[in-house]
C-alpha cells in the first residue's frame, strides 16, 4: 500500500512567501503550477495566518543549527511526522539556548536507529530520544486529512462544503458503545489510507455532476460512521473554497488513559503499548558511566482537551507507576523518562528516573538545561 499524501498547488502566493525566507529558499526549488506533497508548501501557501508565518520564520532562523532535523521538515509529506519532527527542533533549540553550542542532531550510522539529539556537558554525554505519540491513529488521521484533502482537491471547481461526521445510527444498535464512542470504531492508519484513496475518486466524480444543495453520503473507514457532505455553493474558480467541519459529540480524551483504573490498566492502553514499544528499542545504546540516556515523551499530539494534564498530581504518580511497570529489567533502555510539551516554550513534568545512580551525576545538567522540576526517587519506589 503506497503512502497517502495530499498534494498542494504551487501558486504565485506560495513563491512570494518562499522568497521571504532566505534559508528555506536555498534548500527548496518550487515551480509555478506544479503540485507538491510537502507540508511546508501548504504552510507557505497560507501566509494570511500569523501563526504559520511565525512558524516559517522559526524554521528559517533554525536551519543553520538544526542540520538534518530542519532539512527533514522541508521534505516531510506527512502532517503528523511533520509535527513530530518539529518537536525535535523545538527541543534542540531550547537546549542550545540553555547550555550552548554543544547540542546537535545525533548522527546515526547508516541503517542503525539512534536517538534524535546529542549533547555534551562537563565531559559527559547526553543522548535524547523524542517520542511524540498520537492516539486513535486512524481517527486523528481521518480528521486531519479529510478537510485538507477537499480544500486542495485536484478539481476545476470552487465550492463551499459542510462536512459532518456521525456514528452509524442503526436503530438496532443505538445503545451500542461502538456507536456512541465512534473514535474506537475507526480502524488503523493503513485502512484509513485505503479509504481516503477511494473516497477521493468517488467525491471528484460526484462533484462533477452535483449542484448546490445536494448531499454526498458515504460510510467512513470501518463502516461504523457516516461522512455527510453538503454542497452549499459551487463555482468555476477553484481557488475559492470553504470547508466547514463538525463532528458528533464524543467521550474520548488521552487523559482518561492515565486517570482510569491503575497502572496495569494504563499499560494495556494504546499509549501504554506505544511506550513499551519505544522503551524496548535500544536507540540510546547501552548504559555506561558518564552517559545519560533520556526519553522525552511529548504530549503535544495527544487527543486531549488539555495536553498539560501530565502535570496533575494523580497523573504524575500514574506515569511513574506505569513507566516502572513497563520498564522491566530486560527493557531498561533509558536512564530517565521525561514527560513534556514541546513547543516554542518547552515545558516539562516530573522525570521518572529508571537508573537512580544517574541522578547525582546529572542533576545539575537537568537544572541547567531547563528540563523541569527534579524529584529524586528512592530505590524501590
What is the tens place of the pLDDT at every residue in 79-88? 999 999 999 9
C-alpha of 117 from chain center: 18
Distances (CA, A) of 165 to 138, 160, 162, 177, 341: 14, 17, 10, 17, 29
pLDDT in tens, the chain (381 residues): 567 889 999 999 999 999 999 999 999 999 999 999 999 999 999 999 999 999 999 999 999 889 899 999 999 999 999 999 999 999 999 999 999 889 999 987 765 778 999 999 999 999 999 999 998 888 889 989 999 999 999 999 999 999 999 887 664 354 455 455 678 888 888 999 999 999 999 999 999 999 999 999 999 998 888 999 999 999 999 989 999 998 877 767 899 999 999 999 999 999 999 999 998 887 888 888 899 999 999 999 998 888 889 999 999 999 999 999 998 776 678 999 999 999 999 999 999 999 888 888 898 999 999 997 544 434 333
Return the pLDDT at 247.
84
Query: 539529539: which residue's cell?
Result: 117
**CB neighbours of residue 154 within 10 Å:** 11
| Buried b or exposed e, range 231-261, using 16+ CB within 10 angstroms | beebeeeeeebebeeeeeebeebbbebbeee
* Half-sphere exposure for 27 (CA within 13 Å, toward CB): 19
Return the pLDDT at 375.
46
CB 311 within 8 A of CB 258: no
Amino acid at each position: 500500500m503506497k503512502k497517502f499524501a495530499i498534494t498542494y498547488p504551487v501558486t504565485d502566493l506560495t513563491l512570494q512567501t518562499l522568497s521571504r525566507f532566505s534559508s528555506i529558499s536555498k534548500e527548496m526549488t518550487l515551480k509555478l503550477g506544479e503540485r507538491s506533497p510537502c507540508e511546508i508548501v501548504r504552510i507557505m501557501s497560507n501566509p494570511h495566518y500569523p501563526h504559520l508565518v511565525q512558524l516559517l520564520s522559526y524554521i528559517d532562523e533554525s536551519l543553520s543549527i538544526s542540520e538534518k532535523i530542519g532539512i527533514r521538515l522541508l521534505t516531510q509529506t506527512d502532517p503528523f511526522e511533520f509535527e513530530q519532527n518539529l518537536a525535535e527542533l523545538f527541543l534542540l533549540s531550547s537546549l542550545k539556548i540553555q547550555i550552548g553550542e554543544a547540542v546537535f542532531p545525533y548522527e546515526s550510522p547508516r541503517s542503525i536507529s539512534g536517538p534524535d539529539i546529542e549533547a555534551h556537558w562537563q565531559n559527559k554525554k547526553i543522548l535524547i530520544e523524542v517520542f511524540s505519540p498520537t492516539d486513535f491513529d486512524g481517527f486523528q488521521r481521518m480528521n486531519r486529512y479529510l478537510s485538507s484533502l477537499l480544500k486542495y482537491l485536484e478539481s476545476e471547481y470552487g465550492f463551499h462544503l459542510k462536512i459532518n461526521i456521525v456514528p452509524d445510527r442503526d436503530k438496532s444498535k443505538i445503545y451500542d458503545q461502538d456507536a456512541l464512542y465512534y473514535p474506537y470504531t475507526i480502524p488503523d492508519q493503513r485502512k484509513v489510507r485505503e479509504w481516503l484513496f477511494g473516497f477521493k475518486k468517488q467525491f471528484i466524480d460526484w462533484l462533477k455532476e452535483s449542484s448546490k444543495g445536494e448531499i454526498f453520503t458515504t460510510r467512513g473507514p470501518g463502516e461504523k460512521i457516516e461522512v455527510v457532505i453538503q454542497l452549499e455553493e459551487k463555482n468555476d474558480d477553484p481557488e475559492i473554497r470553504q470547508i466547514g467541519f463538525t463532528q458528533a459529540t464524543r467521550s474520548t480524551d488521552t487523559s482518561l488513559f492515565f486517570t482510569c483504573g491503575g497502572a496495569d490498566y494504563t499499560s494495556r492502553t494504546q499509549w501504554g503499548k506505544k511506550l513499551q514499544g519505544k522503551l524496548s528499542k535500544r536507540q540510546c545504546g547501552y548504559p555506561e558511566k558518564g552517559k545519560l540516556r533520556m526519553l522525552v515523551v511529548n504530549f503535544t499530539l495527544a487527543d486531549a482537551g488539555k495536553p498539560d494534564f501530565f502535570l496533575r498530581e494523580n497523573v504524575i504518580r500514574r506515569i511513574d507507576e506505569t513507566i516502572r511497570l513497563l520498564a522491566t529489567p530486560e527493557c531498561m533502555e533509558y536512564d530517565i523518562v521525561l514527560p513534556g510539551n514541546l513547543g516554542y516554550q518547552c515545558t516539562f513534568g516530573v522525570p521518572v528516573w529508571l537508573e537512580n545512580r544517574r541522578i547525582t551525576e546529572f542533576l545539575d545538567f537537568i537544572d541547567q538545561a531547563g528540563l523541569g522540576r527534579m524529584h529524586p526517587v528512592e530505590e524501590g519506589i
